[in-house]
Amino acid sequence: MGDDQEQRVDALVFDWGGVMTVSVLEFVGQWLHTEAIDRDNYGRVMREWMGRTAAPDNPVARLETGELTVAGFERLLAAELITTGGDPVVEQGLLKRMFGSATPDPAMVGLVRKARAAGLHTALLSNSWGEGYPADLLVELFDTVVISGRIGMRKPDEAIYRHTVDQIGLPAERSVFFDDMPVNVEAAKAVGMHAFRHTDAESTRAALSSLGVNL
């Protein structure tokens, strides 16, 4: 597995949306286009709710920890959004439509499948916007599954990383984490995990190789 250097990790931890799926820009962009959502307005709302200066009790945080229901979040988000044609945004089913094009990335599925077959411990660590995960695929790919809404913790809170490491049963420094959001990568490093920002399967494979894991 580590042909040129000692293998430094035994557990591989992955985010879902934007890592195990096609990019967030791709699937959210498709939804924005299909429903003619005003992109500037959507961007403003997401910055207010997800930016580094977002209030601790913002709707995204409450959704991801399970405090706010999907229906409740959809109601709040639809009220903030506008369309380019002036039509109201339908709140019912909003998240399902938003994530409708968030299909698994075949290259990443193949990478994780190969890692698990090689004996590495594979884990999912995801902030949930509802429960739209493909259950059969999660069972096939991951030894450990940590989904924020199920446990009342979310990234980038350090507690969820410590919980994940505990579930894996290995020291933090024997784990590597991949996420598409820098703030989540930084938090993983803060608890002692190796961590990288994911952009595509090839760069993630290269990062693993730097840790002695060649897939």
Taking only the tens place, the pLDDT of each residue in 80-126 is: 999 999 889 999 999 999 999 999 999 999 999 999 999 999 999 99
Question: Is residue 52 very low, low, confident or very high in pLDDT (cuts 50, 70, 90)?
Answer: confident
User: Where do the H-state alpha helices sit in the chain?
Assistant: 24-34, 39-50, 59-64, 70-80, 94-98, 106-117, 135-141, 148-151, 158-168, 182-190, 201-210
Instruction: Report the residue count for the chain.
Output: 215
**Under a CB-based contact definition with an 8 Å cutoff, are residues 195 and 156 in contact?**
no
pLDDT score of 2 more than 60: no
The pLDDT tens digits of the residues spanning 143-190 come to 999 999 999 999 999 999 999 999 999 999 999 999 999 999 999 999
pLDDT tens across 5-36, in order?
799 999 999 999 999 999 999 999 999 999 99
Contacts of 96 (CB under 8 A, 6+ apart): 130, 132
User: Are 201 and 107 a contacting pair, CB within 8 Å?
Assistant: yes
pLDDT at residue 98, as a whole number: 96
Q: 192 in helix, strand or coil? A: coil
Quote the CA–CA distance of 9 and 208 in Å, as a whole number: 9
**In this predicted structure, what is the pLDDT of residue 81?**
97
- The phi, psi pair for 176, rounded to 5°, reads -130, 140
Q: What angle do CA 63, 41, 38 make, to 5 degrees?
A: 110
Helix (H, G, I), strand (E, B) or coil at 162: helix
66: left (phi over 0), alpha (psi -120 to 50) or beta: left
For residue 173, what is the DSSP state? G
Other Cβ atoms closer than 10 A to 147: 19
